[in-house]
Structures are given as structure tokens and as C-alpha cells.
Chain A
């Protein structure tokens, strides 16, 4: 019988030591660190082990050595295929960049019959002519939509209340479908609406043309109506009725809802979640207010700070995990997005957590007046009188002029997290994103000052929290089931 070599024979090449692959680390808690590699895989390790790893003193017989080798934090003389695999993973994470702009938002009108004090778009209640998008403007915008090379195009109607100008919606949907008979893109439509004005006829149009419905629901009736006043104080009733009617006509999976957190919501995370469960939604997106429009003017945005919002978020997340442990499947969508970035080779494409930023190259906005903005937040700023993120106008500028404008390229380049002070060395950079519009709005600079950035504080706390939750077997199973394919 031939002799077989011992396992130790194949460890000879490990004796010559190891080299570090690019990685970053951050404190997780009092004595542990989280280290992330180039592709966002993470390892938790005590301070002393991190030291011995960094100083080349890790023993190749140790289980930490095996973990760090397997997850591509180090490389030894036995194998260099880790470099091929890392390159592949980084390429996979960045893959969506090549698709270019996929989300195209049409501001159908700035008019709205609600009068929410936190309105971030500065709605108008008057003048149909001045604040509705015209068909001519829409046609020009559609030409630009199809200039994007993206194999998937999503057209989202925004407002104001987009159903106040539904003729425009009809026109854009029909025209886009007509153009797409030749273009053959993967074309999708979404209408953001408070549903208060949704008629069966409008909903039937959505059904027949595959238009998804995205509505606003802030919680139980008292909270929702306080947040979202309208004549008759019946916003909640109309929204709920609208959701059920839309489910009946368009389809139960075609209707989603988003909530916005006000100071009145802060201690009511569980009530809000219960409202979503009672309406048989399978998840919720717990969202903070953004610093734009009336939210700034009425001081809604300043009414709570990052910590207060995080307490709200973690309380909601705890409650949702309790429900899941008891066997009821319900997802928190922001956590789901981040977990997908942490635990899979893929990026999600979620516009607010991308680097390079999603402005222009991920999503673009065609305002009612034909102005083109780098993001929804960019046009919100414009309504406050600051047109920094205006890239051009559909009537005056070509796709090339818009996409190569300094108003787009400069913030994209300067805010790239891989080269921004503090972000570039942050362990959580693979999960995070650049949000130049937020930092410009809050700090007057597209790069911003991270130690005082609310965006940074909020996301870092969530990353750490999720990583700690992953340590518990039963919780980890739940979080794994939230990961998107």
C-alpha cells in the first residue's frame, strides 16, 4: 500500500509566515474589534488577537488563522488564489455601477391636498399651471430615460400628490411602454401616492399597466392624522381604505407603504409596527426624517437627534425580532438592506447606501418644470432655493451635458467613501454609502464632517447593533432569512 503524506506535510509552506490583505477594523465593544475585508466579510476578534494578527505573530495552527485565511484577511505561501477571489468579490459588489441609471423619478406635480408639517418637498396647494409637469416636458424626460444604458428601468411618479396630475402619469406610462416595444428594457413603474384620491378607475389603470403603488402610512390613526393633516382630518381612513382597494384591484403584492418618524412617533415604535401587522404587511421600513423642505422650516427635523431616533429604531427592531422568534415572519427593511450587504457578495443598489453615491448614476429626478436633479433630495433643496444639484433642463440640455455636468461629477468624485477622510479607513465602509446631498444640506459640504454627521452616527450604530445581534444563534437565523437574494 502506498504511503499517504500527513496533514503536517501540507503545512510546511505556512511556516514562512503570512502577509496581510487589505482590511479595516473598528471597535465593536469594550474588548472586541470588528474587522472587514475588501469585500465586506467580517470577523470579530479580541484586541490582543488583532494585535498579534497585525504584527505577524498569529500561529498558523490557531483557529483564528484558519478563519482569517478562509475569509481573505491574510495570504500565505501555500495559496494565492485568494487574490483572484477577492477581485471577483469586489467586482461583484461594484457590478451595478456598469448598469448606470436605473431609477427615473418624475415629479408629476408639486400640488398636494395634504398639509404635512414635515413635508420634505415643500408642496404647493395652488396654481395648476405653474406646478404640474406638462406632457411636452414629460416627453423630453422620457427621451432621457431611454438614453440610460441600464437593462432595467424603473419610472417612479412623485409629488406633491402624483394622482392630482394622473393624466401625466397615464401619458408617461403609455409612451414609455410604446418606446419599450423596441427598446426591450426590463421596465417597471411605481406611483408614490397618499391614495386619498385613488379611484377604482385610476387603480384599474395601474393594474392594467403594471404600476406598483407606494403609499405613506405613519402608524395608528391618531399618530398618522397628527403627522399628515388634510381637510376632514381623515388621512388615515382614506389611506387604509385606499390600501385595501388597491390590493383588491391591483393585487396584494403590488401595494407597499412607507412610514416617516416624527417626534410624536418616537415612543410608539410598537404601535406603528402593530399597525403594519394589522394591515398584513410583511415588513416595515423604519425611516427617519430627512433635512429638507418644511421638515426644516417647521423644525420637525430638529425635533429629535440621532440617538433618540436610534432608540426608536432599536426598540422597533427588538419588537420585530420578538415577533419572529415567536414564529411570525416580519421584516425590517432597512436592516434587510444592510444585512444583504454584510452577508452576501452583492450590493443592494439602495440609493442612499452606495459609494460612489447614487446621485445621477443610480437615480435621477425630472422635476415638474423640466429641471433635472441628481436626486430626490436635490430637488427638495431646490424648492428651498438652493439649486446646487440641478444638472440641467430637459428642454435645454442633452443626456451627455446632464451626465457630465460638474454639478454631478464633482460631488460624485469628492464624496466617494473610499477616499473620504474617516470613511476611507472605516471598517463599515463596505456596508455604508456616500450621501453628498445630505451632508451638503446639513453641513454645507458634500464630503462633510463625519464625527458630527447624523448619517454617520445613525448608520455606524446600526452596523454595530446588527453585528452583535448576529452572535445569537436564534437571532442570526432570523436575520439570515431577511437577506435578499
Chain B
């Protein structure tokens, strides 16, 4: 795992008590007018003048020879991956540094609140009912510093839409500062049952924005049980309908576990018949984090044991021309006919492979495992022997 925060940063010549965001540069030839707006990451002996601050790494970077009076930060060595365009939050009074944005990351997640009105059995980011409005303040500061070439930002929570108008402000500013960046929102969709809110959302008119909304059952009482909130199903469905009425893009997300797989074909049928206009359906393997650990007995089912149900569900959706994607599944536990729906989705710093995978012919196409998956592996992981062709 990549280190993203430390309380062991040492600051010198910083105004104590001030908390701010620093945008990093590794370019010694940066035009002088920009230098006061950037912090320079020292990589070798040449240290240009005029930067806002200078950053080095413990036991690695000699911090002498800097321009006199420079503000400096020395970070633990594990942060030496920091690169041009990355953004840090610094709190000198607490010797704290957090990495807010990495330009090289293909997946950028912005947690906008930890509050949620669902309490899902398998939540990977358990909600906290605290006032965390500082997250929005920080994000609004961060947006102008993010590289405009960034492909995609995912807004996640908690439930982002609980922020109401402030969430819409985030989206508006995001599309102003980053007009070319796709926005993906992970929401339970319930707030969109409010037509006025959805209209305001649609008025943002971002050209590449999609809401990913979980739907766990075709039956209201079963969905409500999984999300531990009575009445959630109706609000979520009405939210999806409101969004699609205004031609907004919607992804339905189904996490597969013991409480959702037995009616998976029925759920697929329900979507094909009632919600066929959604833009895609993501069928996702269980992530072994958060509440999943506490509810493992209730949730765990070997993916191999639901492969027939998964195949049937995918066939129903595919024949209805609904775009289907399968995430977080190893190819060896999927029906061969479903390989073309599988996406290699696990971020490269979170995934790993087992010993069985070392001589697997399909390893290149396979997403492998979450690092957290070690809690429980399928009993049916095995190397794919023949190098059979795979449709990407």
C-alpha cells in the first residue's frame, strides 16, 4: 500500500498554525512567475530559486544548499514517489502531511462526506455521523490545483448527495476547473428522488458525468435489508427514474454476495424490463473491507458457487442490450462465456496474485485480487492452462 499520510513530517521556516495546499513541481526550468505557486521536489543537487517551498526525503535528500530562508519539508522516505503535479495538504503545527492528489493515478477518488443514510451490510467505507464539512472546504481548494488532463474523478462517501447544494457546488466547480475530466459519482440515489434536486443536478450539464447507484434486489424488502434502511428501495428507484427522465447517465451497481446472488437473474430481469434505459450495469465482487469483515458469515459465498446464476443474469441483460460489466472477479471462477464482460478494475497498488496464478495463461487479462481479499479466497482459483483467446 502506498503511504498517503504522515504525522512525521518536519517543517522549517513555515508559518506555524497555517494549513494549506501545496502543488508540487519537479521542473527546475519552471518560469519564474509560477514558482511562488509551486513547491519544488528535490531530486538531485540542482536546486532552482524562487519556489514557494522545497521538499526532500529522509536519508535521501541533502537539505543544505537551499536558497537562504527557504521553507522546507522533509518527508519519510516512503513518500519519494511524489511527482510533478501532485498536491499535498500540510499542517505544520501537527507535523502532518496528507497526499490529496496524485497526477499519475488513473483513479482519483474524492471522499466528500462520511455521513450516509444507508448502512449497507458490506459497506467498505463505514459511515460516521460526524460534521465533516471540512472535507468539502478542502476539496473546493483542491479542484483548481488538479491537473486539467486528469481523466476521471470519482466522488464518493458516505453519501455525497447528503451535502445537498454544497455537493452541486462541488460538481459545478469541478466542471469549471476541469472541463475535460469525467465525473463519476457513487451515490445510493435516494436524494435524486427529489425532483427539484435532480433538476438542479441536470442543469450542470457536464458532458461526461455518471451516477453509479447500487440496486441489490428486485424486491423492496430485500434491498432495504441489504442497505439496512426501510424505504430505501423506493427512493433509489425514483431517483434513477428522475435522473433518466432528465437524460442523465446512470450506472446500476450490484455487489454480489450471499444476500444478493440468489435472485440475481430476477434482478437482471427486473432491470431489463423496468430500467432498461440505464447506461450500464456493473456486477461487482465483494471487497473484504469495512463492514464485510463483521458480516462475513452473512455475506460470503464462493464466486464459483454463483457462476451459473451470474451467467444467467448476464445473458438476460446482454440480450436486452443493457451494457454489462463484471468487476473484481478472477477469470478462473467465471464462465468462459462471461470473460468478455470482465473488466480489470482493481487499482494496481491494491491488487495481487496467488501462487496458483504464476503459470496462468490468462493472468494478463485477469484483475487478480484485492490485497484485502486474503480474508477469504475462492476454493476454485486455478491457473488457466491453454492460452485460449480472450475477447477484451
The answer to whether A10 and B218 have CB atoms under 8 Å apart is: no
Q: Please tell me if B344 contacts chain A, counting CB pairs below 8 Å.
A: no
Interface size on A, residues (CB 8 A): 33
Determine chain A's interface SS by DSSP, over half rule.
Answer: helix
Q: Which residues of A contact B321 (CB under 8 A)?
A: 485
B342-360 CB contacts (< 8 Å) to partner A: none
Judge if B314 is at the interface, Cβ distance under 8 Å.
Answer: no
B234, B241, B266, B276: the one within 8 Å of A79 (CB): B234
Q: Which of B265-308 contact A (CB under 8 A)?
A: 266, 269-270, 272-274, 276, 291, 294-295
Contact with A along B147-187 (1 / 0, CB 8 A): 00000000000000000000000000000000000000000
Question: Knowing that A1-B294, A41-B273, A66-B219 are A-B contacts, what are 11 other residue pairs whose CB atoms are under 8 Å apart, sorted by A's residue number?
Answer: A7-B259, A13-B221, A13-B230, A67-B266, A70-B263, A78-B220, A81-B233, A84-B238, A85-B237, A344-B320, A485-B321
Is B233's CB under 8 angstroms from A5's CB? no
Tell me the residues in window 305-343 of chain B with beta carbons closer than 8 Å to chain A beta carbons. 315, 319-321
- Interface SS of chain B: helix
B233 A79 Cβ-Cβ under 8 A: yes
A296 is an interface residue with CB less than 8 A from chain B: no
In-complex Cβ contact of B273 among A6, A89, A485 (8 A): A89
Residue of A69, A85, A485 most packed against chain B (CB within 10 A): A85
Residue numbers in A under 8 Å from B19 (CB-CB): none
Determine which of B233, B274, B295 lies in contact with A4 in the assembled complex, contact meaning CB atoms within 8 Å: B295
Query: Which B residue sits closest to A60, measured CB to CB?
Result: B221
Residues from chain B with a CB closer than 8 A to the CB of A5 are 225, 228
A88 to B277, CA, bound (A): 12
- Say yes or no: A70-B266 contact (C-beta < 8 A), given A11-B221, A14-B221: yes
Q: Does A62 contact B (CB under 8 A)?
A: no
Residue of B234, B269, B272, B291 near A80 (CB, 8 A) is B234
Closest to A8 in B: B225
* Number of chain B residues close to chain A: CB under 8 A: 32
For residues 203 through 226 of chain B, which have their beta carbon under 8 Å from a beta carbon of chain A? 218-222, 224-225
Closest 5 interchain pairs by CB? A79-B220, A81-B234, A70-B218, A10-B225, A7-B225
A contact residues around B319 at 8 Å (CB): 480-481, 483
- A16 CB-CB contact with B under 8 Å: no
Instruction: Produce 1/0 per residue, A1-37, CB < 8 A to B.
Output: 1101111011101100000000000000000000000
Nearest chain B CB to A78 CB, angstrom units: 5
Within the complex, what minimum Cβ distance (angstroms) separates B217 from chain A? 9
Which residues of chain B (233-253) have a CB below 8 Å from chain A? Answer: 233-234, 237-238, 241
Chain B positions within 8 Å of A39 at CB level: 273
- Does B121 count as interface, using CB distance less than 8 angstroms? yes
Q: Smallest CB-CB separation from B295: which chain A residue? A: A4
Interface membership of A229, Cβ < 8 A: no
A117 on the B face (CB < 8 A) = no
Interface residues of A (CB under 8 A from B): 1-2, 4-7, 9-11, 13-14, 39, 41, 66-67, 69-71, 78-81, 84-85, 88-89, 344-345, 477, 480-481, 483, 485
CA distance A7 to B220 in the complex (A): 12
Could you say which residues of chain A place their CB within 8 Å of the CB of B224?
10, 78
Q: At the interface, yes or no: B14 with Cβ under 8 Å from chain A?
A: no
Instruction: Indicate whether B79 reaches chain A with its CB closer than 8 angstroms.
Output: no
A10 to B121, CA, bound (A): 14
Q: What's the minimum C-beta distance from A477 to chain B, rounded to whole angstroms?
A: 8
CB distance from B242 to the nearest CB of A (A): 10
Q: Return chain B residues, CB-CB under 8 Å to A11.
A: 221
Assembly CA distance A151 to B355 (angstroms): 60
- A485, B322: Cα distance in complex, Å: 10
Question: In the complex, what residues of A have CB within 8 A of residue B228's CB?
Answer: 4-5
Give min CB distance, A472 to chain B, whole Å: 15
**Contacts A10-B224, A485-B321 known; A89 to B274 CB distance under 8 Å?**
yes
In this complex, the member of B121, B233, B319 whose beta carbon has the largest number of chain A beta carbons within 10 angstroms is B319
B119 at the A interface (CB under 8 A): yes
Residues of chain B within 8 A (CB-CB) of A84 are: 237-238, 241
Most buried by B among A1, A67, A70, A345: A70
Q: Is the CB of A10 within 8 A of B230?
A: yes
Set of chain B residues within 8 Å of A480, measured between Cβ atoms: 315, 319
Nearest-Cβ distance from residue A234 to partner chain B, whole angstroms: 43
